[in-house]
Amino acid sequence: MNRKKDLPKILLGMATVLCGALLLSASSRAEQIRYPVLCYEGDSLAQVRAWEKTWAGQKITSANIEKVKELLPETLYSLLTDKGKWGEYWFEIVPYRQFKPTSGDIKFTLAGKCSIGSDENLVNYVSGIPFPKPSNGLEIAYNYDNAILGDNFEYHTNMQIVDGRKKYNRPMIVDEHQTWFTGRRDVPPVPDFVPNPKDIYHAYHATYHEPPAFKGTRAMTVKWNDRSKDYGSWEFSSSTRRVVRRSTAQRQTHIGPSDITYNDQGGYNWVMNDNSYKLLGRKEMLMPRNQNSEQLVKNDVEGMCYVSGYQRERINMYIIECINKDPNYIYQKEIWCVDPENWKILYADKYDKQGKLWKIFDVSYTTAKSTYDGQEVLALSNQTVVDVQRIHGTKAYFMNWIAGGQGLGLQYDYFSPKALLQYGY
């Protein structure tokens, strides 16, 4: 073999192999960051549309629920079929509607280069969904943690707390302001507030109007950019006119007479790497992710722990087992059903320390038009929690959304312990 003569051929071959490897790598990266990722498309979408020809528009009651049993969480099916214990409820089936991210969400997700560190903390996060093609439960949990509501968000909450044995409701009325200080998508400043001296990721400030014992109470929670750091939680009492900081253990207590702990808000509201996660797979389920909250309010019945009127569509959900690393945590385990398009927990089962089912969570969403640029952004519609052990329920209806707003209640200084005292009475 003449090495000098054959050298150009060898170099050409090496270059061809290298170019092929680079193209393959680029193709792999492009596949990894494809976004938005649709729940259904092509043949799978055609199959869902064919199924909807029979079922869309159908009202499901205990009389015909058996026909869609395989598309419901087992715990929810048990509740809806036990009329003697829980009463009669119904829901309707609606067509699947893709959740469409905002332009800023798409932009930052495609540009994202974050990862998970050795301590299971989120590394190099800027904005958007960190793992649009997740491979494990922790990545899905961080997607949930970074699925935001319009950068700035305000809403009114009408909460009905139900004693299912004595058949009466007690109201809890709350107004809430939320702002994301980093990870912002569309509303300036994007993607971060600068300066951000406290290194805040997200904060919310709530004002309680009812029940009378809570009137004037204000509460605030701050999540940090260091996602492994315990949240900061403070509360202002109108009766004592003092601001106190809640301990980590207090976040596991229930909010007033409700069935929701501070860590339960939205399905889960605490540090992500405090848990161990196991991705159990995917499951076709009927979930309310385009829900009209007014329809639920209209069908709320005094003394009933659950509510009729859910608008459920077929979604191919992620199912995750979540176990807190603290053996003394309030729940032994949780099972989350996570939407693969909006990345929110839409249903959860939570088990007590003896491993017995304690609570079921139904969390529904809708969209609201941003006052900043008119884009449709994700909005919380309802959170219903049923304590199956003591026959008790909490039904929270969220309404009067203002997404993308600016001004009082959304700026940096509003999210401080000093502001709780300043705006309290």
Number of domains in the chain: 1
pLDDT of residue 308: 98
Q: Is residue 18 part of a domain?
A: no
Cα(360)–Cα(142) distance, integer angstroms: 22
Domain presence at residue 356: yes
Whether the pLDDT of residue 17 is over 50: the answer is no
Instruction: Provide the percentage of residues in the chain whose pLDDT is more than 90.
Output: 86
250-275: per-residue pLDDT in tens?
899 999 899 999 999 999 999 999 99
In DSSP notation, 325-373 reads S-TTSS-SEEEEEE-TTT--EEEEEEE-TTS-EEEEEEEEEEEEEBTTT
* Farthest-apart Cα atoms in the chain, separation: 96
Using an 8 Å Cβ cutoff, are 399 and 176 in contact?
Answer: no
Looking at residue 24, what is its pLDDT?
40
Q: Cα(396)–Cα(394) distance, rounded to whole angstroms?
A: 6
- Where does the pLDDT of residue 101 fall: very low under 50, low under 70, confident under 90, or very high at 90 and above? very high
Work out the pLDDT band at 372, boundaries 50, 70, 90: very high
Enter the pTM of the model.
0.91
Query: What is the predicted pLDDT for the residue at 424?
Result: 83
339 part of a folded domain: yes
Looking at the domain assignment, is residue 38 inside a domain?
A: no
Q: Average per-residue pLDDT in the chain?
A: 92
CA distance 129 to 140: 10
Residue 99 predicted with pLDDT over 90: yes
Per-residue pLDDT tens over the stretch 286-320:
999 999 999 999 999 999 999 999 999 999 999 99
φ and ψ of 412, to 5 deg: -60, -45
Q: What is the pLDDT of residue 48?
A: 98
| pLDDT at 2 > cutoff 70 | no
Categorize the per-residue pLDDT at 23 as very low, low, confident or very high, splitting at 50, 70 and 90: very low
- On whether residue 4 sits in a domain, the answer given is no
Q: Which CATH number fits the domain that encloses residue 388?
A: 2.50.20.10
Q: Give 280-290 pLDDT, tens digit per residue.
A: 999 999 999 99
Domain span at residue 105? 43-423
> By C-alpha distance, which of 358, 360, 378 is closest to 368?
378
* 160 is a domain residue: yes
> Percent helix, strand and coil across the chain, each rounded to 5?
25, 35, 40
**Could you read off the pLDDT of 110-142 as tens digits, one per residue?**
999 999 999 999 999 999 999 999 999 999 999
Q: Is the pLDDT of residue 11 over 70?
A: no
DSSP line for 252-300: GSBSTTSS-BGGGGGG--S-GGGEEEEEEEEEEEEE-SS--HHHHHHT-
Band of residue 406 on the pLDDT scale cut at 50, 70, 90: confident
Tell whether 17 is covered by a domain. Answer: no
How would you write 147-208 as a 3-class SS string?
CCCCCEEEEEEEEEEEECCCCEEEEEEEEEEEEECCECCCCCCCCCCCCCCCCEEEEEEEEE
Q: Would you say residue 28 lies in a domain?
A: no
pLDDT tens digit sequence for 382-394: 999 999 999 999 9
- At 213, is the secondary structure helix, strand, or coil? helix
Which two three-digit tokens encode residue 394?
């909490």
Q: Per-residue pLDDT for 351 more than 50?
A: yes
- Contact predicate 62/70, CB 8 Å: no
